Chain A
Amino acid sequence: MRVLIGIVGHSPILDRYPLGPLLMQDLQDRDSGSMIVEVENMTWSPIHVTQRLQDHQTVYDRTVLIGSSAGCLRPGNVVVYKWIGGEMSTLKLQERVYEGVTGVVSLDNTLVIGDYFKVWPKEVFTVEVDLPGDAFGEIVMAENMGSKEEELLKILGFNPDVVRKKIADLAWSVAQYGASDREAILDKSVNDLVDSELFTKYEFKQHLNYVN
Chain B
Amino acid sequence: MCFENLPIEFDSAGNAHLKSGVPNPYQYQVKTPAEREEKLREIARKNGQLFDKDFDPVTRVAGALAFHSTVNLDDRRVVETNSMATLFRGYEVILRGRDPRDAAFISSRACGVCGGVHATASALSIEMALGIKPPPLGIVVRNLLLSCEYLYDNPLHLFVLAGPDYSEQLVRETNPEIWAKAQNTPTRFSHLHGYRKISEIMTDLNPLTGKLYLEALQMTRVAREAYVLLGGKYPHPETIIPGGVTTTLSTTTFNEFYIRFSEFFDYSKKCVGIWDDIYDFFYECDERFKEVGKLDATMVDFGQWDHEDYYDASYENCNTWGEMRWSTPGALVDGKLVTTRLQDLNVGIEEFIEHSYYEMWEDYPYKTDPLGAPLSPYHPWNKTTIPRPGQQNWKERYSWSTTPTWDRKVFEAGAYARMYISALANKLPKSEFFESTGNSLVLNVGKGAELPEMKIEWKVPPVWNAIERNRARAYAVAYNAMVNMENWVRAMDLWKRGEREVATPFKIPETGKFIGAGFWGAGRGFLSHHCEIENGLLTNYQIITPSTINACPQTPWGEPGPYEKSVLNTPILESNFKSSEEFKGIDILRALRSFDPCMPCTTHTMVDGSDHVFTREVTTCACGIN
Contact = CB atoms under 8 A, between A and B. Distances in A.
Interface of A: 8-13, 43-45, 47-48, 51, 67-70, 90, 93-95, 97-99, 101-108, 116, 133-138, 140-141, 144-145, 197, 199-201, 203-204, 206-208, 210-212
**Most chain B CB atoms below 10 A, which of A47, A102, A145:** A102
A197 B66 CA distance: 12
Contacts of A67: 626
Q: Nearest 5 CB-CB pairs, A to B?
A: A103-B112, A104-B624, A102-B62, A200-B64, A103-B621
B626 A8 contact: yes
Contact of A104 (B209, B391, B623): B623
Given A98-B59, A102-B112, 12 more contacts: A13-B618, A43-B620, A90-B207, A103-B113, A103-B621, A105-B619, A105-B625, A133-B616, A136-B616, A137-B608, A197-B57, A201-B56
23 contacts: A47-B217, A47-B220, A48-B224, A51-B217, A69-B626, A90-B208, A90-B209, A102-B62, A102-B598, A103-B112, A103-B624, A104-B620, A105-B619, A108-B626, A134-B606, A137-B616, A141-B612, A141-B614, A144-B614, A199-B624, A201-B56, A204-B86, A210-B609
B389 A211 contact: yes
B626 A200 contact: no
Contacts of B626: 8-9, 67-70, 105-108
A104 B621 contact: yes
A9 B606 contact: no
B59 A95 contact: yes
Interface residues of B, number: 51
A70 B624 CA distance: 11
A101 B208 contact: no
Interface string B391-414: 110000000000000000000000
A70 B625 CA distance: 10
A137 B606 contact: yes
Contacts of B605: 137
A107 B217 CA distance: 20
Contacts of B221: 48, 51
A198 to B, nearest CB: 10
B607 interface: yes
Given A8-B626, A51-B221, A211 B391 contact: yes
Contacts of A197: 57, 59
Interface in B182-236: 207-209, 217-218, 220-221, 224, 235
Contacts of A106: 624, 626
Contact of B208 (A9, A70, A93): A93
